[in-house]
Amino acid sequence: MNQVCAQPTESVVDRLHTDVKFELLLSRERANGLAGQQWAEVFRQFEVPLRVRQPLYNDKAGVEQDIFGTTRRVVVTGLLDRNGEIVFPDRKFRLSDVGELSDWIEELQTYGAQGAPEGQPLWGLSKAEFDLLHAAMRTVVENKTSDLDLAAAIVSLELPSNYPIDFTPKAKKTLGPVDQIPPVKNDLAGLAKGTAFALLLREYGLSFTPRRLPDESIILSIEDVEEVEKAWPIGWDPDSLGLTRLTLAKKLFVAVPVEVDQMSMTQMLQELEKQTEIPVFVDGMALKSMNLDFDKMTVTYPRKRTSWSLCLRTLVSKIQLTQELRVDENDQAFLWITRFQPKSKPNP
């Protein structure tokens, strides 16, 4: 898989050096000069520059940064209140919290003003960074992917080169020996690249996640699906985007004469695609774990006037699967058939 992986480059430390300094604004009501001296000693031990001063009319707490060549300069401004605490927009510290403060300083020195990406919305990307990535992932896949080996299929997606991909060690272990990796089943031509890449990897029990590195570059990390809590989705929920399902897939929901007479599940899905003009993708990982084979599974649905959506829902629910209408990054609709996961009830 080396042909599709990010190539080793110089270390992050060599590419970008970070200088962090703090400024504490004294309280306008009652300045605590003693606390200022105590905090100055703390920062001296951290070897981090600190300036304690009177606030100007336009001063406000926050974290800002500028990059000059290979130097990233981070300026952190906080308020020193009359109780001796230093207060920032999303956190505050007492003199007894030097351990937590040290961890935050280390995070700023490593990742800059945005901080570590873990646990942040949009995978820790800024809105501008996410918008650029999403725009790149909206480009349509032009090449056929079915029957290719995995590496060739990834190359055929023509993913944006400014977002290198990298397999985690666990992802490589999940794939196993290269000569034993089966060919790709789905043809993803016509889909947006983000959704296509997610679908492609899912066949192999993998997913991908945007990762912001300490030098502020962004890679696409390919991981085992169990490694990450929130990966790039296999399509997006149309409801969350304000899209109307009937507008997206009218032929899927309107009532028409429907009959399935002793077809394999695969044949039934092909007929559904033909009648509704909506692509259908099946979660092969789920089928494998449930020991289901759609080529060998025969299904029947009595002739009646109904929608293809209701017909499909009836058939898949019998085998603990569910259908989901999703859209790719260009709002193109498709059906995703995967394992049914009951929603957990909120605690009383």
How long, in residues, is the chain?
348
What CA–CA distance (Å, rounded) separates 177 from 225? Answer: 18
Q: Which of 1-15, 45-59, 222-236, 326-340 has the lowest mean pLDDT?
A: 1-15
3-state secondary structure of 235: coil
DSSP letters along 47-94, please?
A: T--EEEEPPPTT---EEEEEEETTEEEEEEEEEE-TTS-EEETTEEE-
- State pLDDT tens for residues 125-180: 999 999 999 999 999 999 999 999 999 999 999 999 999 999 999 999 999 998 89
- pLDDT of 30 higher than 80: no
Structure tokens at 82: 């009359």
For the beta carbon of residue 145, count every other beta carbon within 10 angstroms: 23
- pLDDT of 241 higher than 50: yes
- pLDDT of 29 higher than 90: no
CB-CB contact of 166 with 221 (8 Å): yes
- Residue 139 DSSP one-character state: S
- pLDDT of 13 higher than 50: no
What CA–CA distance (Å, rounded) separates 335 from 293? Answer: 18
Residue 223, pLDDT score: 96
What CA–CA distance (Å, rounded) separates 310 from 320? Answer: 15
Confidence band for 6, pLDDT divided at 50, 70 and 90: low
Structure tokens at 53: 């001063």
What CA–CA distance (Å, rounded) separates 306 from 254? Answer: 7
Average pLDDT, the chain: 91
Identify the sign of the CA torsion 266, 268, 271, 273: negative
- pLDDT of 290 higher than 50: yes
Residue 328, pLDDT score: 97
What CA–CA distance (Å, rounded) separates 168 from 268? Answer: 37
Residue 8, pLDDT score: 44
Among the listed residues 232, 204, 201, the one whose alpha carbon sits nearest the alpha carbon of residue 326 = 232
Residue 163, pLDDT score: 96
- pLDDT of 5 higher than 70: no
Tally helices (H) and strands (E) across the chain: 12, 14
Q: What is the mean pLDDT of residues 98-107?
A: 96
What CA–CA distance (Å, rounded) separates 333 from 105? Answer: 45
Share of the chain above pLDDT 70, in %: 93
What CA–CA distance (Å, rounded) separates 164 from 7? Answer: 8
In terms of DSSP bridges, do strands 218-224 and 280-282 run parallel, antiparallel, or are they unpaired? unpaired
What CA–CA distance (Å, rounded) separates 281 from 279? Answer: 7
